[in-house]
Amino acid sequence: MVFCLENEEPRLPQRSAMVHFQASEVQQLLHNKFVVILGDSIQRAVYKDLVLLLQRDSLLTAAQLKAKYLEGVLEELTYGPAPDLVIINSCLWDLSRYGRCSMESYRENLERVFVRMDQVLPDSCLLVWNMAMPLGERVTGGFLLPELQPLAGSLRRDVVEGNFYSATLAGDHCFDVLDLHFHFRHAVRHRHRDGVHWDQHAHRHLSHLLLTHVADAWGVELPKRDYPSETSEPHVRIRIVKKKKVITKKRKKLTSPRPLVTARPPVTTTPAGAPHLPEAAEPGCPPLGLESLRLSDSQLQASSSQSFGLGPHRGRLNIQSGLEDGDLYDGAWCAEQQDAEPWFQVDARHPTRFSGIITQGRNSIWRYDWVTSYKVQFSNDSQTWWGSRNRSSGMDVVFPANSDPETPVLNLLPEPQVARFIRLLPQTWLQGGASCLRAEILACPVSDPNDLFPKAPALASSDPLDFRHHDYKAMRKLMKQVNEKCPNITRVYSIGKSHQGLKLYVMEMSDQPGEHELGEPEVRYVAGMHGNEALGRELLLLLMQFLCREYLRGDPRVTRLLTETRIHLLPSMNPDGYETAFRRGSELVGWAEGRWNHQGIDLNHNFADLNTPLWEAEDDGLVPDTVPNHHLPLPTYYTLPNATVAPETRAVIEWMQRIPFVLSANLHGGELVVSYPFDMTRTPWAARELTPTPDDAVFRWLSTVYAGTNQAMQDPDRRPCHSQDFSLHGNIINGADWHTVPGSMNDFSYLHTNCFEITVELSCDKFPHESELPQEWENNKEALLTYLEQVRMGITGVVRDKDTELGIADAVIAVEGINHDVTTAWGGDYWRLLTPGDYKVTASAEGYHPATRNCRVPFEEGPVPCNFHLTKTPKQRLRELLAAGAKVPPDLRRRLERLRGKKN
Ligand SMILES: [Zn+2]
Give per-residue pLDDT as tens, 217-256: 887 776 655 433 333 333 322 223 333 333 333 333 333 3
Which range (169-173, 606-610, 881-885) has the least confidence? 169-173
Among 771, 218, 704, 748, residue whose Cα is nearest residue 461: 771
Hey, what CATH topology would domain 297-445 get? Answer: Jelly Rolls (2.60.120)
Question: 40 and 91 in contact (C-beta within 8 Å)?
Answer: yes
Q: Which residue has the higher pLDDT, 366 or 763?
A: 763
Q: Is the pLDDT of residue 257 over 70?
A: no
Domain 795-872 belongs in CATH node 3.30.70.100: no
Average pLDDT for residues 795-821, to the nearest whole number?
97
Using DSSP's 3-state secondary structure scheme, residue 828 falls into: coil
What is the Å distance from ligand 1's center to 602 Cα?
9
Question: 541 and 770 in contact (C-beta within 8 Å)?
Answer: no
Query: pLDDT at position 882, please?
Result: 87
What is the Å distance from ligand 1's center to 577 Cα?
12
Average pLDDT for residues 425-447, to the nearest whole number?
92
Question: 703 and 758 in contact (C-beta within 8 Å)?
Answer: yes
d(CA 391, CA 108): 51
Question: 368 and 361 in contact (C-beta within 8 Å)?
Answer: yes
163-222 pLDDT, tens digit each = 777 888 887 787 888 888 777 776 776 777 777 777 777 787 788 788 888 887 887 776
Which range (10-19, 588-597, 603-612) has the least confidence? 10-19
Cα 130–Cα 179–Cα 576 angle in degrees, nearest 5: 90
Q: Which residue has the higher pLDDT, 328 or 267?
A: 328
Distance between first and last Cα of the chain: 73
Q: Is the pLDDT of residue 623 over 90?
A: yes
What is the Å distance from ligand 1's center to 668 Cα?
4
What is the Å distance from ligand 1's center to 533 Cα?
6
Question: 540 and 222 in contact (C-beta within 8 Å)?
Answer: no
In the chain, residues under CATH classification 3.40.50.1110 are: 23-218
Query: pLDDT at position 611, please?
Result: 97
712-744 pLDDT, tens digit each = 999 988 899 998 999 999 999 999 999 999 999
Query: pLDDT at position 99, please?
Result: 57
Q: Is the pLDDT of residue 629 over 60?
A: yes
Q: Is the pLDDT of residue 321 over 70?
A: yes
What is the Å distance from ligand 1's center to 761 Cα?
7
Q: Is the pLDDT of residue 25 over 90?
A: no
The set of residues, in sequence order, having a beta carbon less than 8 Å from that of 580 and lying 6+ positions away, is: 261, 262, 531, 532, 593, 594
Among 819, 806, 795, 886, residue whose Cα is nearest residue 847: 806
d(CA 211, CA 215): 6
DSSP 632: P
In the chain, residues under CATH classification 2.60.40.1120 are: 795-872
Q: Which CATH number fits domain 472-792: 3.40.630.10, 3.40.1180.10, 3.40.50.1370, 3.40.50.300?
A: 3.40.630.10
Question: 698 and 833 in contact (C-beta within 8 Å)?
Answer: yes
What is the Å distance from ligand 1's center to 744 Cα?
11
Among 483, 832, 830, 826, residue whose Cα is nearest residue 658: 826
Average pLDDT for residues 43-51, to the nearest whole number?
72
Query: pLDDT at position 282, please?
Result: 42
Residue 129 binned pLDDT confidence (cut-offs 50, 70, 90): confident
Query: pLDDT at position 259, please?
Result: 32
Average pLDDT for residues 263-280, to the nearest whole number?
32
Beta partners for residue 373, in sequence order = 400, 428
The per-residue pLDDT of the chain, averaged, comes to 83
Q: Which residue has the higher pLDDT, 826 or 227?
A: 826
DSSP 628: -
What is the Å distance from ligand 1's center to 29 Cα?
47
Written as one letter, the residue type at 734 is N
Query: pLDDT at position 194, please?
Result: 73
Q: Which residue has the higher pLDDT, 65 or 148?
A: 148
Among 534, 540, 546, residue whose Cα is nearest residue 571: 540
In the chain, residues under CATH classification 3.40.630.10 are: 472-792
Average pLDDT for residues 276-294, to the nearest whole number?
70
Question: 248 and 11 in contact (C-beta within 8 Å)?
Answer: yes
Q: Is the pLDDT of residue 902 over 90?
A: no
Query: pLDDT at position 95, please?
Result: 57
Q: Which residue has the higher pLDDT, 536 or 895?
A: 536
Among 172, 224, 217, 218, residue whose Cα is nearest residue 22: 224
Question: 537 and 581 in contact (C-beta within 8 Å)?
Answer: no
What is the Å distance from ligand 1's center to 489 Cα?
30
CATH architecture of 23-218: 3-Layer(aba) Sandwich (3.40)
Question: 783 and 690 in contact (C-beta within 8 Å)?
Answer: no
Q: Which residue has the higher pLDDT, 702 or 261?
A: 702
Name the pTM for this structure: 0.70
Element housing 732 (H / E):
strand 732-734
Residue 94 binned pLDDT confidence (cut-offs 50, 70, 90): low
d(CA 505, CA 465): 20
Q: Is the pLDDT of residue 269 over 70?
A: no
Element housing 178 (H / E):
strand 176-178
Neighbours of 159 (CB within 10 A): 22
Among 239, 182, 192, residue whose Cα is nearest residue 213: 182
Average pLDDT for residues 666-690, to the nearest whole number?
94
Active site includes 415?
A: no
| Cα-trace Rg, the chain | 31
The one catalytic residue among 161, 761, 772, 776: 761
Q: Is the pLDDT of residue 861 over 90?
A: no
Query: pLDDT at position 465, please?
Result: 95
The set of residues, in sequence order, having a beta carbon less than 8 Å from that of 663 and lying 6+ positions away, is: 521, 523, 524, 702, 755, 756, 757, 787, 788, 790, 791, 833
Average pLDDT for residues 258-280, to the nearest whole number?
32
What is the Å distance from ligand 1's center to 265 Cα?
26
Among 340, 327, 356, residue whose Cα is nearest residue 435: 340
What is the Å distance from ligand 1's center to 721 Cα?
15
DSSP 872: B
d(CA 126, CA 901): 82
Q: What percent of the chain has pLDDT over 70?
A: 82
Biggest CA–CA distance in the chain, Å, is 110
